[in-house]
Amino acid sequence: MIKAPIIVWFRRDLRLADHPALSAACDSGQPVIPVYIHDDQVASLGAAQKLRLDLALAQFAKALADRGSRLILRKGPALDVLRDLIGQTGAGAVYWSRLYHAAANDRDAAVKSALKADGIAARSFTGHLLFEPWTVETKTGGFYKVYTPLWNAVRGRDVAEPLPRPAKIIAPQHWPASDDLAAWNLRKPMQRGADILARHCTVGEDAAQDRLDTFITDRVGDYVKGRDLPGIRGTSNLSENLTFGEISPRICWHAGQRALRHGKGDAEVFLKELVWREFAYHLAHHTPRILTDNWKEDWDAFPWNTDITPQVAAWQQGRTGIPFVDAAMREMYVTGTMHNRGRMIVASYLTKHLMTHWKIGLDWFADHLIDWDPASNAMGWQWSAGSGPDATPYFRVFNPVTQLDKFDKDRAYVTRWIAEGQRKPNDDALAYFAMIPQSWQMRADAAYPDPVVTPEQGRRRALDAYGNRGF
Ligand code: FAD
């Protein structure tokens, strides 16, 4: 008797190893049809994410093809696409890995109940997080609003060992038709920056695993110091892989734990960073409004600027005249990522020195980050602005000049990213000018601009505004 296939609906889990949904489908002994759906949530991704997704899908399709399987691509509302495929293939089940932000949650819940009503086994699995958000509770049964107690609650928990890649992915007798990836035009929104950005991406499961191995061997031992210095490679750079699920957090967690057992004490801080990612999803699950609204409601009364003023445009375009801010904004434009220290500095400058709503920064990041993650981005912005849980207090206004002296003493970072004023700027600094729109009218050989707002002016203005509001 021919067994009904199982559809595995891939989203932010483009890997074969440690994939509970895929493993369950393969273990059933039934044929498996891997599917990726371009629905309105994919359509709403930022330009850099779309380009990165294009690369990720091409690589993942190849990994499946190497195992005698295929990645079927379809466009349209997820439920319609899945019903269509079920009709065409006789599939009896759809499996997927859970996501935890509101838009995905709502879509998935609707798909699950509709498929169940159709008599299809719709099952969601873990995989994107270490700990399901509803399994982490305070002693009184609530959720965590502060990071450290959450860390203390989970640090000693058993985390299951990662699953191996499935030994075999049984192909269906007949493959359904697939769209052509190129026809999705995912690279188009990046326009002339596409080729340069693509060169900065490290794509696919094997590359992600290599990245983790290199980090654990060479860098985790000095992570505490190295992770704060944007001029060197001191962190894992795994965020672009984690957000697309090219590596699982469990694989990273166990690698960190092994390093710790082998005497690399700094690995504990790496584990803590992985748990910051968990915390972001914990908050997104329990308080979905963190993605869209001030988490602390009293911030609704704060007089944020909500316009793209010339100063805000200067922030977006990396020409505020504050080297740390401009270097970081240009790093993001060219590479699609930004060092964590840079993210904190530019977010502080926008929300405090320029008193601009964090949502303007959140949206700009969403359009330019290849490692964009809905939960971490929102938590990071609200932390920086002061409106989020466990946020930096309002009076903590980063001074981007003293921060530069502290974290980029030898100016390696700003020299790498700011061409103006250099006799022979390097390729990265020049790449920025090859990517940005000509309408910005910026030239590498122009003079570096004066500050749009000096650190002292901005700090005073922000503190006055906060003080007047009684924050
Ligand atoms: P590592 O230092 O090697 O850390 C390992 C992993 O831990 C990271 O890959 C990431 O998954 C997680 N992690 C580390 N720091 C944090 C953190 N502060 N919050 C949540 N998870 C963390 N991270 C994203 O992945 N996507 C985003 O869209 C994003 N937006 C941010 C916006 C702002 C304003 C701020 C302040 C931070 C943001 N972060 C975001 C968090 C952090 O900056 C990045 O995760 C980190 O820079 C990624 O580099 P890495 O992979 O080398 O990290």
Domain holding 317: CATH number? 1.10.579.10
Residue 398 or residue 56, greater confidence: 56
- 148 and 11 in a single domain? The answer is no
Q: What is the pLDDT of residues 107-154, one digit of tens each?
A: 999 999 999 999 999 999 999 999 999 999 999 999 999 999 999 999
238 pLDDT more than 90? yes
Domain membership of residue 36 (yes or no) is yes
Specify burial of residue 68 (Cβ count, 10 A radius: 0-12, 13-18, 19+): exposed
395 pLDDT more than 80? no
Q: Identify which of 239, 345, 392, 407 to mutate to test ligand 1's pocket (most ligand atoms within 8 A of the CB).
A: 239
- Based on the structure, what is the number of domains in the chain? 3
389 pLDDT more than 70? yes
Token match 């946020």: residue? 391
Give the CATH number, domain containing residue 222.
1.25.40.80
Instruction: Please spell the DSSP secondary structure of 271-318, one letter per residue.
Output: HHHHHHHHHHHHHHHH-GGGGTS-SSGGGGGS--B-S--HHHHHHHTT
Please name which of 398, 417, 401 lies closest in space to residue 409, comparing C-alpha atoms: 401
Q: End-to-end CA distance of the chain: give it in Å, rounded.
A: 70
**366-400 as b/e: b if 16+ CB within 10 A:** bbbbbbbbbbbbbbbbbbbbbbbbbbbebeebbbb
- 220 and 109 in a single domain? The answer is no
- Domain span at residue 56 reads 1-127
Which secondary-structure segment (H or E) carries 36? Answer: strand 32-38
- 282 and 307 in a single domain? The answer is no
Contact of 143 with 284, CB cutoff 8 Å: no
Q: One-letter amino acid identity for 247? A: I
Of 233, 262, 286, the residue that ends a domain is 286
Q: What is the mean pLDDT of the chain?
A: 96
Domain membership of residue 185 (yes or no) is no
What lies within 8 Å, CB to CB, of 124 at 6+ separation is 21, 95, 96, 97, 98, 108, 112
Contact of 89 with 194, CB cutoff 8 Å: no
- 387 and 413 in a single domain? The answer is yes
Give the integer Cα–Cα distance in Å for 352 and 349: 5
Q: What is the pLDDT of residues 289-326, one digit of tens each?
A: 999 999 999 899 888 999 999 999 999 999 999 999 99
Per-residue model confidence (pLDDT) at position 226: 96
pLDDT confidence bin for 470, thresholds 50/70/90 = low
Please name which of 137, 89, 91 lies closest in space to residue 115, comparing C-alpha atoms: 91
Beta partners for residue 97, in sequence order: 125
Which secondary-structure segment (H or E) carries 38? Answer: strand 32-38
Of 102, 127, 152, the residue that ends a domain is 127
Give the integer Cα–Cα distance in Å for 471 and 462: 11
393 pLDDT more than 90? no
Give the CATH number, domain containing residue 40.
3.40.50.620
Atom of ligand 1 nearest to the CA of 280: 20
Atom 43 of ligand 1, residue of closest alpha carbon: 340
Rg of the chain on CA atoms, in Å: 23
Per-residue model confidence (pLDDT) at position 147: 96
Please name which of 282, 258, 275 lies closest in space to residue 155, comparing C-alpha atoms: 275
Domain membership of residue 109 (yes or no) is yes
Per-residue model confidence (pLDDT) at position 468: 67
Kindly give the residue spans of alpha helices, DSSP state H, lying in 158-204.
194-199
Domain membership of residue 306 (yes or no) is yes
Atom 18 of ligand 1, residue of closest alpha carbon: 276
- 148 and 255 in a single domain? The answer is yes
- 144 and 281 in a single domain? The answer is yes
Token match 């393969």: residue? 26
Token match 């309105």: residue? 40
Q: Is 238 among the annotated ligand-binding positions?
A: yes
Helix (H, G, I), strand (E, B) or coil at 122: strand
Q: Identify which of 277, 350, 356, 396 to mutate to test ligand 1's pocket (most ligand atoms within 8 A of the CB).
A: 277
Instruction: Please spell the DSSP secondary structure of 251-273, one letter per residue.
Output: HHHHHHHHHHHTT-TTHHHHHHH
- 123 and 139 in a single domain? The answer is no
Contact of 303 with 313, CB cutoff 8 Å: no
- 135 and 276 in a single domain? The answer is yes
Q: What is the pLDDT of residues 62-89, one digit of tens each?
A: 999 999 999 999 999 999 999 999 999 9
Domain membership of residue 248 (yes or no) is yes
- 433 and 344 in a single domain? The answer is yes
Residue 373 CB less than 6 A away from ligand 1: yes
Contact of 453 with 354, CB cutoff 8 Å: yes
Length of the chain, in residues: 471
C-alpha dihedral (138, 123, 275, 152), degrees to nearest 10: 30
Domain membership of residue 191 (yes or no) is no
Centre of ligand 1 to C-alpha 247, Å, is 15
Overall average pLDDT of the 26-32 stretch? 98
Please name which of 452, 74, 251 lies closest in space to residue 259, comparing C-alpha atoms: 251
Q: Is 372 among the annotated ligand-binding positions?
A: yes
Residue 370 CB less than 6 A away from ligand 1: no
Per-residue model confidence (pLDDT) at position 462: 87
Of 267, 286, 305, the residue that ends a domain is 286
Domain membership of residue 438 (yes or no) is yes
- 452 and 316 in a single domain? The answer is yes
Please name which of 110, 106, 85 lies closest in space to residue 35, comparing C-alpha atoms: 85
pLDDT confidence bin for 471, thresholds 50/70/90 = low
pLDDT confidence bin for 425, thresholds 50/70/90 = very high
Domain membership of residue 354 (yes or no) is yes
- 319 and 373 in a single domain? The answer is yes
CA angle, corner 124, sides to 120 and 128, nearest 5? Answer: 155
Atom 30 of ligand 1, residue of closest alpha carbon: 377
Q: Is the ipTM of this complex over 0.85?
A: yes
pLDDT confidence bin for 390, thresholds 50/70/90 = confident
- 136 and 120 in a single domain? The answer is no
1 pLDDT more than 70? no
